[in-house]
Structure 1
Amino acid sequence: MRSRFGISLEGNEALDELHHMVSLADESGASTIWLASHLFQREPIATAAMALGRSKSVKIALMAMSPYSVHPVYATMAAATLNEQFPGRVILCFGAGAPRDLEAAGLKADHPLGTLRESIDIARSLLSGEVVAHDGERFKVNGRRLSFGAQQVPIFLAASGPQMLELAGAAADGVLLSAATSPAFLRWTLELVRKGETKAGRTIKKSALVYVSADRDETAARDRLRRTLGFILRGQHHARNLEMAGTTLDQAALAAAYAREDWEAVARLVDDNVVMRHSASGTPEQVAAAFQAYQDVGLDEIVAAGMTTSAQLSDVFSSVSGK
């Protein structure tokens, strides 16, 4: 089965490029545009309204709305309101959020597993049109329903840790897997999602963020991703990801290089071997081959990340489609 192809937008793209990328994704048959919910970047709910209004068929996902910064009632209201105007084209995705961003806003992501489980439960009740009766450890929502009735909005969970992956399989309608992961690591994460599915007797949709960069100059293509991949892979929680990919990377040296903003050292540590194993990058032919390796993992949707211009997105579409 061929995976669907979506794109991810981070919220820091130039506004004109954002408009062009939305139109290009819609015209090129992309399945979904995943709009990141990063604090201090563009607000994704407003961006989603713009994107839906400027497109005809592509779905829009509010990506990893954090219940620590946006109450799940409010996040659900937003998704439901968008879906009322653009039925069948909206996805609500919850996630814990980036710890450093939350800390910068004076927020703390404590007890994430229980908090995300409660968020899914509240959203599901509201979207069903029911009167909510939720008395949880973190949230208490009682005696209210959406005033405009039930809305068919899928609920995804952005997950990476074992327990969160199982929760996605057991409680969400879909899972969004982390970027900078290798195909081997994705296979492992999908096993954990399926473990949750088996316990609950259900099957969910499986999407994964994959950094993609295409250029006839393969070095130029990979150079675009080195700093981004280094930022992510420097974290110790990626040790298993690196090990499963067979990647040799001095994470301590990489973290130190980032701390002193030594970009030459970052580029040296995140060499071609690292970039190739944790992205789909290089010439169009190399991107197509890497994309196939991610597709073979068994994903329902590959979400291309890392493009900041419509020209880069066009190159990626051409590489993946073979046109």
Structure 2
Amino acid sequence: MTSLGAVFRPQLPPERLRDIARAADEAGLDQLWLWEDCFLQSGVAAAAAALAWTRRLRVGVGLLPVPLRNVALTTMETATLRRLFPGRFAVGLGHGVQGWMGQAGARADSPVTLLREHLDAMRALLRGERVTVEGRYVRLDDVALDWPPGDDPADTAVFAGARGPRSLRLSGEAADGTVLDANTAPDGIRHARYLVDEGRAAASRTGHHEIVHYLSTATGPDAAARLRAERLREGQDPEAGPGVAGGAAAVAEAVAEAVAAGADTVVLQPTADEPDPETFVRFAAEEVRPLLD
């Protein structure tokens, strides 16, 4: 069964999160995903609050930029949230927008190497292993979690955000799932799944690898105009770029197309000028979700 989510965009002030998370939870939405974009909001702090305010909602952070983060601390935060809210916290790592990383004094010469080292160390720590590593960027000396989250695959899973071929193959090799941004069309999902599977084969990985796809979505009387403006902001073709505008049937059709292309979870991403985020998450849960069963 397709899992459906929505994005809480960090361009909204943090104090809006409570009402939106509760609306999503009460309406029966499967997932709510957050971003740690510079220099807006902390993904981990926001996720902790959203989890505490809700009862059943899966909360994901996609993505945490690893140049800003120490792997031991990120793993401790993840393990803590997974013990507090079993089965409800998903975390994705990315190499960060390099301009932002430069502003923060954290830019890496080889972002893909940093992401690989961070993924390898974090997944090992979450599995309860004692880790010593002397990498190009990640250095740990006899580190183990006192409170690892458990041995269920959901407890140890780490996603990677990926777009280019190297990052997608890396995600297949070193991550447990992949987050694809809203600039990915269905053909891009198919190609991403192919490259991820190449990476998995190269690393002899087995088991399921979840693909989470953000789908740019606009609904309401001015939906087409808002989606067109969103595409322009993202440098896409304003008429034929990725995304969907319309009512529940049109959105459900776009979700089904993404699933047919290889997505497991589709997360509806409202436009930057979405006028009513609470209504948007209820629309996703109450109007779109039933059409996917």
- The residue type paired with residue 160 of structure 1 is R
**Kept in 2: contact 1:17–1:310 (CA 8 A):** no
Q: How far apart in 2 are the matches of 1:51 and 1:193?
A: 30
Q: How far apart in 2 are the matches of 1:54 and 1:154?
A: 23
- The residue type paired with residue 186 of structure 1 is I
1:18-167 equivalences in 2 (<5 Å): 18-151=17-150, 152-167=155-170
1:186 aligns with 2:150: no
Correspondence for 1:205: 210
Q: How far apart in 2 are the matches of 1:288 and 1:44?
A: 28
SS at match of 1:320: helix
TM-aligned CA deviation for residue 52 of structure 1: 0.6
TM-score of the superposition, structure 2-length normalised? 0.88
TM-aligned CA deviation for residue 16 of structure 1: 5.0
- The residue type paired with residue 103 of structure 2 is A
Q: How far apart in 1 are the matches of 2:108 and 2:217?
A: 30
TM-aligned CA deviation for residue 298 of structure 1: 2.5
> Which deviates further from its counterpart, 137-146 or 102-111?
102-111
Q: How far apart in 1 are the matches of 2:11 and 2:128?
A: 35
User: Structure 1 residues 3, 322: CA separation in 2 closer, same or farther (over 3 Å shift)?
Assistant: closer
**Kept in 2: contact 1:6–1:34 (CA 8 A):** yes
Percent identity among equivalent residues? 26
- The residue type paired with residue 50 of structure 1 is A
User: Structure 1 residues 33, 86: CA separation in 2 closer, same or farther (over 3 Å shift)?
Assistant: same
**Kept in 2: contact 1:23–1:54 (CA 8 A):** yes
Structure 2: gaps of 5 or more residues: none
User: Structure 1 residues 55, 43: CA separation in 2 closer, same or farther (over 3 Å shift)?
Assistant: same
1:265-276 equivalences in 2 (<5 Å): 270=238, 273-274=239-240
Structure 1: gaps of 5 or more residues: 235-248, 250-269
> Which deviates further from its counterpart, 200-209 or 164-173?
200-209
SS at match of 1:34: strand
TM-aligned CA deviation for residue 89 of structure 1: 1.4
Q: How far apart in 2 are the matches of 1:84 and 1:316?
A: 29
Q: How far apart in 1 are the matches of 2:280 and 2:260?
A: 24
**Kept in 2: contact 1:68–1:96 (CA 8 A):** yes
SS at match of 1:180: coil
SS at match of 2:285: helix
Correspondence for 1:291: 255
Q: How far apart in 1 are the matches of 2:175 and 2:85?
A: 22
Match of 1:222 among 190, 205, 224: 224
Q: How far apart in 1 are the matches of 2:225 and 2:11?
A: 19
Q: How far apart in 1 are the matches of 2:33 and 2:279?
A: 19
Correspondence for 1:262: none
> Which deviates further from its counterpart, 222-231 or 49-58?
222-231
CA deviation profile, 1:143-176 (whole Å, cap 9, x unmatched) = 1211223442310001111111111112211111
SS at match of 1:296: helix
Q: How far apart in 2 are the matches of 1:320 and 1:62?
A: 23
TM-aligned CA deviation for residue 142 of structure 1: 1.3
CA deviation profile, 1:93-125 (whole Å, cap 9, x unmatched) = 110112232233233243122111100111112
Runs of 4+ in 1 over 6 A off after TM superposition: none
SS at match of 1:147: coil
CA deviation profile, 1:29-70 (whole Å, cap 9, x unmatched) = 333222101121121111111101111111222221111111
SS at match of 1:133: strand
Correspondence for 2:243: 279
1:312 aligns with 2:275: no
Equivalenced residues, count: 281
TM-aligned CA deviation for residue 25 of structure 1: 1.8
Whichever of the two has the greater Rg, that structure is 1
RMSD of Structure 2 on Structure 1 (CA) = 2.0
Q: How far apart in 1 are the matches of 2:286 and 2:226?
A: 18
